[in-house]
Structure 1
Amino acid sequence: MAAARRGRSSASGVVLLSCLVVALLTESFPAAEAAGTTYYVGDAGGWGRNLDWWLAGKTFYAGDVLVFKYNREYHDVAVVGGKGYRRCKVPRSTVVLRSGYDQVTLRRGNNYFICGMPAHCDAGMKLAVKAF
Protein backbone atom coordinates (compact mmCIF):
# COMPACT_ATOMS: atom_id res chain seq x y z
CA MET A 1 0.00 0.00 0.00
CA ALA A 2 2.91 2.35 0.68
CA ALA A 3 4.20 1.73 -2.86
CA ALA A 4 0.79 2.61 -4.31
CA ARG A 5 0.75 5.89 -2.41
CA ARG A 6 4.25 6.81 -3.63
CA GLY A 7 3.21 6.20 -7.24
CA ARG A 8 0.13 8.36 -6.93
CA SER A 9 2.10 11.07 -5.18
CA SER A 10 4.78 11.06 -7.88
CA ALA A 11 2.17 11.35 -10.63
CA SER A 12 0.50 14.26 -8.82
CA GLY A 13 3.90 15.94 -8.44
CA VAL A 14 4.64 15.59 -12.15
CA VAL A 15 1.24 17.05 -13.07
CA LEU A 16 1.70 19.91 -10.61
CA LEU A 17 5.22 20.60 -11.89
CA SER A 18 3.99 20.52 -15.51
CA CYS A 19 1.23 23.02 -14.70
CA LEU A 20 3.73 25.28 -12.98
CA VAL A 21 6.09 25.20 -15.98
CA VAL A 22 3.23 26.00 -18.37
CA ALA A 23 2.10 28.89 -16.15
CA LEU A 24 5.62 30.31 -15.99
CA LEU A 25 6.10 30.05 -19.76
CA THR A 26 2.75 31.72 -20.35
CA GLU A 27 3.77 34.59 -18.07
CA SER A 28 7.14 34.95 -19.80
CA PHE A 29 5.88 34.68 -23.37
CA PRO A 30 2.27 35.85 -23.58
CA ALA A 31 0.98 34.94 -27.05
CA ALA A 32 -1.72 37.61 -27.08
CA GLU A 33 0.78 40.41 -26.51
CA ALA A 34 3.26 39.11 -29.08
CA ALA A 35 0.96 39.90 -31.98
CA GLY A 36 1.02 43.60 -32.87
CA THR A 37 -1.44 45.90 -34.54
CA THR A 38 -1.54 45.95 -38.34
CA TYR A 39 -1.50 49.35 -40.04
CA TYR A 40 -2.07 50.02 -43.73
CA VAL A 41 0.37 52.78 -44.68
CA GLY A 42 -1.53 55.70 -46.17
CA ASP A 43 -4.87 53.99 -45.44
CA ALA A 44 -6.92 53.58 -48.66
CA GLY A 45 -4.48 55.77 -50.63
CA GLY A 46 -1.60 53.39 -49.95
CA TRP A 47 2.16 54.02 -49.93
CA GLY A 48 2.74 57.47 -51.37
CA ARG A 49 4.20 60.92 -50.80
CA ASN A 50 3.92 63.17 -47.77
CA LEU A 51 2.46 60.73 -45.24
CA ASP A 52 2.94 62.91 -42.15
CA TRP A 53 -0.86 63.24 -41.95
CA TRP A 54 -1.13 59.45 -41.73
CA LEU A 55 1.33 59.24 -38.81
CA ALA A 56 -0.51 61.89 -36.76
CA GLY A 57 -2.06 60.52 -33.59
CA LYS A 58 -0.67 56.99 -33.93
CA THR A 59 1.61 55.30 -31.42
CA PHE A 60 3.57 52.35 -32.75
CA TYR A 61 5.10 49.48 -30.82
CA ALA A 62 7.72 46.87 -31.63
CA GLY A 63 5.85 43.97 -33.22
CA ASP A 64 3.30 46.16 -35.00
CA VAL A 65 3.05 45.45 -38.72
CA LEU A 66 3.05 48.04 -41.49
CA VAL A 67 1.46 46.99 -44.77
CA PHE A 68 2.68 48.91 -47.81
CA LYS A 69 0.25 48.76 -50.75
CA TYR A 70 1.41 50.27 -54.05
CA ASN A 71 1.74 49.74 -57.79
CA ARG A 72 4.90 47.64 -58.09
CA GLU A 73 5.56 48.85 -61.62
CA TYR A 74 6.25 52.35 -60.31
CA HIS A 75 7.30 52.00 -56.66
CA ASP A 76 9.09 49.85 -54.10
CA VAL A 77 9.85 49.98 -50.38
CA ALA A 78 13.46 50.17 -49.22
CA VAL A 79 14.05 49.52 -45.52
CA VAL A 80 16.92 51.90 -44.75
CA GLY A 81 18.78 53.41 -41.82
CA GLY A 82 18.61 57.02 -40.73
CA LYS A 83 21.40 58.08 -43.07
CA GLY A 84 19.68 56.49 -46.10
CA TYR A 85 16.44 58.15 -45.06
CA ARG A 86 17.96 61.63 -44.70
CA ARG A 87 19.94 61.36 -47.95
CA CYS A 88 17.26 59.46 -49.89
CA LYS A 89 19.84 56.85 -50.83
CA VAL A 90 19.45 53.06 -50.92
CA PRO A 91 22.68 51.45 -49.67
CA ARG A 92 23.81 48.28 -51.48
CA SER A 93 23.00 45.91 -48.62
CA THR A 94 19.46 47.27 -48.21
CA VAL A 95 16.38 45.09 -48.24
CA VAL A 96 14.16 46.36 -51.06
CA LEU A 97 10.61 45.05 -51.21
CA ARG A 98 8.82 44.94 -54.55
CA SER A 99 5.64 42.88 -54.22
CA GLY A 100 3.15 45.75 -54.16
CA TYR A 101 1.79 44.40 -50.87
CA ASP A 102 4.67 44.27 -48.41
CA GLN A 103 4.39 43.60 -44.69
CA VAL A 104 7.10 44.84 -42.35
CA THR A 105 7.22 44.13 -38.61
CA LEU A 106 8.48 47.14 -36.68
CA ARG A 107 11.46 46.78 -34.40
CA ARG A 108 11.92 48.91 -31.30
CA GLY A 109 13.34 52.34 -32.11
CA ASN A 110 13.41 54.21 -35.39
CA ASN A 111 12.26 52.45 -38.57
CA TYR A 112 12.90 54.15 -41.90
CA PHE A 113 11.37 53.47 -45.31
CA ILE A 114 11.88 55.13 -48.68
CA CYS A 115 10.82 54.52 -52.24
CA GLY A 116 14.01 53.61 -54.08
CA MET A 117 12.79 54.69 -57.52
CA PRO A 118 14.68 57.71 -58.89
CA ALA A 119 13.49 61.02 -57.39
CA HIS A 120 10.54 59.49 -55.48
CA CYS A 121 12.10 59.82 -52.03
CA ASP A 122 13.26 63.37 -52.78
CA ALA A 123 9.63 64.14 -53.74
CA GLY A 124 8.49 63.01 -50.27
CA MET A 125 7.88 59.26 -50.67
CA LYS A 126 9.46 58.27 -47.37
CA LEU A 127 8.33 57.35 -43.90
CA ALA A 128 9.98 57.42 -40.47
CA VAL A 129 8.25 55.45 -37.70
CA LYS A 130 9.36 55.28 -34.07
CA ALA A 131 8.24 52.13 -32.28
CA PHE A 132 8.23 51.79 -28.48
Structure 2
Amino acid sequence: MKKLLLVFVAISMVIYLGVKDVLNPYFREDIQHTVYTIGDSAYQRSLSEDKRVVKFGPAFWGLYPGGLAFPTSEKAEAYYLQNREQFGAVGSRWVVAELSGDLELDTYAEEHQRYLNKSLFVTRIVKSL
Protein backbone atom coordinates (compact mmCIF):
# COMPACT_ATOMS: atom_id res chain seq x y z
CA MET A 1 0.00 0.00 0.00
CA LYS A 2 2.85 2.37 0.86
CA LYS A 3 4.53 1.73 -2.52
CA LEU A 4 1.24 2.38 -4.33
CA LEU A 5 0.88 5.69 -2.51
CA LEU A 6 4.45 6.68 -3.43
CA VAL A 7 3.81 5.82 -7.08
CA PHE A 8 0.61 7.88 -7.01
CA VAL A 9 2.44 10.86 -5.47
CA ALA A 10 5.26 10.59 -8.03
CA ILE A 11 2.84 10.47 -10.96
CA SER A 12 0.89 13.42 -9.52
CA MET A 13 4.09 15.47 -9.25
CA VAL A 14 5.10 14.67 -12.82
CA ILE A 15 1.68 15.75 -14.09
CA TYR A 16 1.76 18.93 -11.98
CA LEU A 17 5.23 19.88 -13.22
CA GLY A 18 4.04 19.36 -16.79
CA VAL A 19 1.12 21.78 -16.46
CA LYS A 20 1.96 24.22 -13.65
CA ASP A 21 3.03 27.08 -15.94
CA VAL A 22 -0.09 26.65 -18.06
CA LEU A 23 -2.29 27.18 -15.02
CA ASN A 24 -1.13 30.78 -14.52
CA PRO A 25 -2.34 32.92 -17.45
CA TYR A 26 -0.60 36.24 -18.03
CA PHE A 27 -2.19 39.64 -18.66
CA ARG A 28 0.29 42.08 -20.20
CA GLU A 29 -0.45 45.77 -19.55
CA ASP A 30 1.75 47.35 -22.23
CA ILE A 31 1.12 45.59 -25.55
CA GLN A 32 3.10 46.80 -28.56
CA HIS A 33 2.24 43.92 -30.94
CA THR A 34 -1.21 42.38 -30.55
CA VAL A 35 -1.56 38.57 -30.58
CA TYR A 36 -4.49 36.84 -32.28
CA THR A 37 -5.52 33.21 -32.16
CA ILE A 38 -8.20 30.84 -33.40
CA GLY A 39 -10.54 29.45 -30.78
CA ASP A 40 -13.81 27.68 -30.19
CA SER A 41 -16.99 29.73 -30.57
CA ALA A 42 -17.71 28.99 -26.88
CA TYR A 43 -15.20 31.76 -26.16
CA GLN A 44 -17.81 34.30 -27.25
CA ARG A 45 -20.50 32.90 -24.94
CA SER A 46 -18.10 32.76 -21.99
CA LEU A 47 -16.91 36.34 -22.51
CA SER A 48 -20.51 37.58 -22.76
CA GLU A 49 -21.11 35.95 -19.34
CA ASP A 50 -18.09 37.85 -17.93
CA LYS A 51 -16.09 34.65 -17.55
CA ARG A 52 -12.33 34.61 -18.04
CA VAL A 53 -11.22 32.60 -21.05
CA VAL A 54 -7.67 31.26 -21.26
CA LYS A 55 -5.68 30.23 -24.33
CA PHE A 56 -3.03 27.84 -23.08
CA GLY A 57 0.72 28.02 -23.53
CA PRO A 58 2.99 24.98 -23.86
CA ALA A 59 2.51 21.99 -21.57
CA PHE A 60 3.93 18.55 -20.91
CA TRP A 61 7.48 19.49 -21.82
CA GLY A 62 6.57 20.57 -25.34
CA LEU A 63 4.18 17.76 -26.27
CA TYR A 64 1.55 20.51 -26.52
CA PRO A 65 3.36 23.45 -28.16
CA GLY A 66 0.94 26.15 -27.01
CA GLY A 67 -1.98 27.83 -28.77
CA LEU A 68 -1.60 29.11 -32.31
CA ALA A 69 -0.54 32.77 -32.49
CA PHE A 70 -0.85 35.28 -35.34
CA PRO A 71 0.24 38.90 -35.86
CA THR A 72 -3.10 39.94 -37.44
CA SER A 73 -6.67 38.74 -37.40
CA GLU A 74 -6.48 38.42 -41.19
CA LYS A 75 -3.56 35.99 -40.94
CA ALA A 76 -5.47 33.95 -38.36
CA GLU A 77 -8.49 33.77 -40.66
CA ALA A 78 -6.32 32.84 -43.67
CA TYR A 79 -4.71 30.04 -41.65
CA TYR A 80 -8.13 28.74 -40.68
CA LEU A 81 -9.35 28.79 -44.29
CA GLN A 82 -6.23 26.95 -45.51
CA ASN A 83 -6.32 24.35 -42.71
CA ARG A 84 -10.01 23.69 -42.04
CA GLU A 85 -9.45 19.96 -41.65
CA GLN A 86 -7.47 20.64 -38.45
CA PHE A 87 -10.49 22.27 -36.86
CA GLY A 88 -12.88 19.37 -36.62
CA ALA A 89 -16.10 18.28 -38.23
CA VAL A 90 -18.21 20.30 -40.61
CA GLY A 91 -20.44 22.54 -38.57
CA SER A 92 -17.84 23.25 -35.89
CA ARG A 93 -17.78 26.94 -35.07
CA TRP A 94 -14.57 28.91 -34.65
CA VAL A 95 -13.59 32.51 -33.93
CA VAL A 96 -10.57 34.76 -34.23
CA ALA A 97 -9.77 36.17 -30.79
CA GLU A 98 -7.43 38.84 -29.44
CA LEU A 99 -5.21 37.82 -26.52
CA SER A 100 -3.73 39.61 -23.50
CA GLY A 101 -0.13 39.32 -24.67
CA ASP A 102 2.47 40.77 -27.01
CA LEU A 103 3.40 38.88 -30.17
CA GLU A 104 7.13 39.61 -29.73
CA LEU A 105 7.29 38.71 -26.04
CA ASP A 106 4.68 36.01 -25.54
CA THR A 107 5.07 33.78 -28.61
CA TYR A 108 7.78 31.77 -30.34
CA ALA A 109 8.24 30.56 -33.90
CA GLU A 110 8.64 26.94 -34.89
CA GLU A 111 8.49 25.57 -38.45
CA HIS A 112 6.91 28.73 -39.96
CA GLN A 113 4.22 28.94 -37.27
CA ARG A 114 3.97 30.97 -34.07
CA TYR A 115 2.77 29.50 -30.77
CA LEU A 116 2.10 30.98 -27.33
CA ASN A 117 5.00 30.64 -24.91
CA LYS A 118 2.69 31.21 -21.93
CA SER A 119 -1.02 31.04 -21.21
CA LEU A 120 -2.88 34.26 -22.02
CA PHE A 121 -6.40 35.57 -21.51
CA VAL A 122 -8.79 36.03 -24.42
CA THR A 123 -9.69 39.74 -24.33
CA ARG A 124 -12.20 39.96 -27.18
CA ILE A 125 -13.64 38.17 -30.17
CA VAL A 126 -12.60 39.79 -33.44
CA LYS A 127 -14.52 37.68 -35.94
CA SER A 128 -16.63 34.54 -36.21
CA LEU A 129 -15.38 32.12 -38.85
TM-score, normalization: structure 2? 0.30
Q: Which has the larger radius of gyration?
A: 1
- RCO higher in structure (CA 8 A, sep ≥6): 2
Q: Which has the higher strand share?
A: 2
TM-score, normalization: structure 1? 0.30
